[in-house]
């Protein structure tokens, strides 16, 4: 839960680096919340309203944590745009976000593992 809240606290922080754990825990909580909201939408008959409002609210923090995750790999945040390439782009972004970050400091900052150790 702390990783999810930390990402929300860094709402629009695109600088720095994000560990894999931070990124994937945020993604896991997001999926869980979306499932719960989708069920609520279905029960209440408000079908994409709750999920849509939530998705709009977490779009910027999700983009920011993805950019910071790419920074951990030593890549520019612009690599996020690879997801726009049909089929291959989304898979490649998934591979990138699942890859281990650079162990040394890079142009985007210190290794977040070393900072939290």
Q: How many domains does the chain have?
A: 1
pLDDT average, residue stretch 14-39 = 95
| This prediction's pTM | 0.90
Domain of 20 in residue numbering reads as 2-116
Structure tokens at 72: 């951990």
Chain centre distance of CA 103: 20
SS3 string, 72-116, reads HCCCCHHHHHHHHCCCHHHHHHHHHHHCCCCCCCECCECCHHHHH
CA 93/CA 80 separation, integer angstroms: 7
- Structure-token pair, residue 80: 């996020």
pLDDT band at 117 (very low <50, low <70, confident <90, very high): low
Give 54-107 pLDDT, tens digit per residue: 999 999 999 999 999 999 999 999 999 999 999 999 999 999 999 999 999 899
C-alpha angle 82-1-20 in degrees, rounded to nearest 5? 35
Q: Would the pLDDT of 53 be above 70?
A: yes
The band of 116, judged by pLDDT with boundaries at 50, 70 and 90, is low
Which residues are within 8 A (CB) of 117 and not within 5 positions of it... i.e. 6 or more apart?
none
């Amino acid at each position: 839960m702390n990783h999810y809240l930390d990402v929300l606290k860094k709402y629009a922080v695109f600088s720095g680096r994000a560990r894999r754990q931070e990124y994937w825990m945020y993604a896991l909580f997001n999926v869980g919340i979306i499932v719960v909201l989708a069920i609520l939408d279905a029960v209440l008959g408000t079908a994409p309203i709750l999920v849509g409002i939530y998705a709009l609210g977490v779009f910027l923090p999700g983009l920011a944590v993805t950019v910071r995750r790419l920074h951990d790999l030593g890549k520019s945040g612009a690599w996020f745009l690879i997801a726009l390439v049909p089929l291959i782009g989304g898979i490649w972004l998934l591979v990138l976000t699942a890859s281990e970050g650079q162990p040394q400091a890079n142009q985007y900052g210190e290794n977040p593992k070393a900072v939290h150790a």
